[in-house]
Structure 1
Amino acid sequence: MKRNLVYFQSLKKQSQPIVCLTAYDAAFAHWAAQAEVDVLLVGDSLGMVVQGHQNTLSVSVDDMVYHTKMVQRGNQHQAWCIADLPFMSDATLEQVLQTSGRLIKEGGADMVKLEGGTRVLAFVKALSQMGVPVCGHLGLLPQSVLKKGYRVQGRDESEAQRLLDEALALQEAGVDMLVLECVPSTLAERISQALKIPVIGIGAGANTDGQVLVVYDILGLTPGHTPSFSHNFLQGSSSIKEAMASYAQAVRQRRFPAAIHEMKA
């Protein structure tokens, strides 16, 4: 079944978790769709896990269009497909509109994702008025890593309140979904309950409306350090498809992240 925004809203109302995985090529997208993953995120994380860079900053718009095309070929438009606007492709409204247009018209994406809060409100509003589905991204912002580093965001009350306020402002501006990365679970739950739109967590605890992980991480393929909030679902599985299905089932049954992390401890 083809996923859409109405479907995701119904899942949120029914407290049924949304399953999201990153994908960067046709093969992984095919098997993820076969495993009934709800959302495929063509993330600029491809700069690290596919291209081998230290961060996401070198990823170009052409890279994102290219990988989104491949993902949609494999996906065959079954899962909802979100594509990132890469670093410095959203510096002006003109750039945002042009990049988003390319990701949807050339890449075939169903939705575009922008990082940041107050800075992108006008961009979100403009895209929404043009009929473009938009996903926001708050918390740890990989495109701001040179300034802020890789650390949990929203630990103190003032920062937590800022993130909540920005989440509400993004919703008001027109975002249809929000990714929360590396924030305390209590804050993630607070934001998820405050918003009418689905909130997808990564390293944000179990009490969001869904979960997203990097596909290379759940298959144990990431060289070097794997994030502590992830899990290798290929262990104990006989195939990549089975590992993806195990991940999807664990999210839907709310055994991930909470129960699996308790087992690790």
Structure 2
Amino acid sequence: MSKYSEVKKITVSHFKKMKAEGEKISCLTGYDYTSAKILDEAGIDLVLVGDSLGMVMNGYENTLPVTADEIIYHTKAVKRGLKRAFLVADMPFGTYHSNIDDAVKNCVNVIKTSGAEAVKLEGGREIIPIIEKLTSSGINVMGHLGLMPQHVHTMGGFKVQGKNGYDSILQDAVALQKAGVFSIVLEGIIDAAAEEITKNVDVPTIGIGAGKYCDGQILVYHDVFGMFDDFVPKFVKKYADTKSVLLDAAKQYINEVKSSVFPDDEHSFKAKK
């Protein structure tokens, strides 16, 4: 058992200690009160309200249509289900891309109204001025490099990064660290790149499709528990097949309603004799 399992509330200082001590950081996405409560009870270290909610919750083709209001709505729900885990909110596409003032204003709004303890931004050296302004203003920032879903069109699709060299990603990671991020998500990059980056930055790296050398791992809630099968990335490990369980239960419910088996006397109210 990890010594951190007894920690009542995880903070950014714990993540720094975990990296220094070789303690892996467990992270998952969450989108509602019930899922957050389950993850928190299980002992997850960090919950991210990702813009992946666009696909797994709302059925969008990708993350681009997600709005700040959607992130705030779901983050507020997740916040009510957490006691121990650290809470991060994704900043959607378009909320930090125009200028520094708008970016800071939007991030502050998400933090103040949702209860998140940090925001996550995709990008490298091109967003350093924004990150510096946020961190100097007292806002925790999680970086995101490699395969960046908000850049899906300019990257030519969801393609693994680093196959033809990863010096640029490494330089971005070092720059993000200097700008003050408390951690960096590395998505969809070859494991050699993730290993090199992890060795060369002092902040924890959190992998998703980036191999075993990262300081922690994150996956999407609906992928881990087998609830979403529109597409399943190679890096996903399914720990339960809850879709089949729910599907069977729903069919049983329908059959019992149709055949008047439910509700029975046990599930009905009777007048007093």
Which TM-score band applies after superposition, normalised by the shorter structure? Answer: 0.7 to 0.9
Matched residue type, 2:63: T
Partner of 1:152: 160
Partner of 2:134: 127
Partner of 2:110: 103
**Larger RCO (CA within 8 A; separation ≥ 6):** 1
Counterparts of 1:1-80 in structure 2, within 5 Å, are 1-76=8-83, 78-80=84-86
Contact residue 45 and residue 85 of structure 2 kept, 8 A: yes
Partner of 1:218: 224
TM-score by length of 2: 0.84
> What are the Cα deviations for residues 180-225 of structure 1, in whole angstroms up to 9, with x where unaligned?
0000001101101100001000000001000000000001011322
Match of 1:228 among 225, 230, 234: 234
Query: Structure 1 residue 167 and structure 2 residue 173: aligned?
Result: yes
Query: Structure 1 residue 114 and structure 2 residue 91: aligned?
Result: no
Q: What SS is found at the alignment partner of 1:106?
A: helix
CA distance in 1, matches of 2:90, 2:240: 26
Q: Which is higher, the Rg of structure 1 or of structure 2?
A: 2
CA distance in 2, matches of 1:223, 1:185: 25
Q: What SS is found at the alignment partner of 1:138?
A: strand
Contact residue 68 and residue 92 of structure 2 kept, 8 A: yes
> What are the Cα deviations for residues 44-79 of structure 1, in whole angstroms up to 9, with x where unaligned?
000011000110000001111111100001113x20
TM-score by length of 1: 0.86
Structure 1 residue 169: Cα displacement: 0.5
Match of 2:187 among 177, 181, 187: 181
Identity of matched residues, %? 40
Structure 1 residue 124: Cα displacement: 0.4
CA distance in 1, matches of 2:43, 2:173: 28
Matched residue type, 2:85: A
Partner of 1:248: none
Contact residue 141 and residue 181 of structure 2 kept, 8 A: yes
CA distance in 2, matches of 1:125, 1:224: 38
Q: What SS is found at the alignment partner of 2:94?
A: coil
Query: Structure 1 residue 193 and structure 2 residue 173: aligned?
Result: no
Consecutive unaligned residues in structure 1, runs of 5 or more:
241-265
CA distance in 1, matches of 2:102, 2:222: 30
Partner of 1:203: 209
Q: What SS is found at the alignment partner of 1:228?
A: coil
CA distance in 2, matches of 1:119, 1:185: 24
CA distance in 1, matches of 2:207, 2:109: 27
CA distance in 1, matches of 2:41, 2:109: 27
Consecutive unaligned residues in structure 2, runs of 5 or more:
1-7, 247-273
Q: What SS is found at the alignment partner of 2:217?
A: strand
Matched residue type, 1:42: V
Structure 1 residue 235: Cα displacement: 4.8
Q: Alpha carbon RMSD of aligned pairs, Å? A: 1.4
CA distance in 2, matches of 1:172, 1:224: 39
Partner of 1:246: none
CA distance in 1, matches of 2:231, 2:66: 21
Match of 1:141 among 139, 143, 148: 148
CA distance in 2, matches of 1:100, 1:210: 25
Aligned residues: 235
CA distance in 1, matches of 2:58, 2:216: 27
Q: What SS is found at the alignment partner of 1:146?
A: coil
Structure 1 residue 6: Cα displacement: 1.0
Contact residue 227 and residue 241 of structure 2 kept, 8 A: no
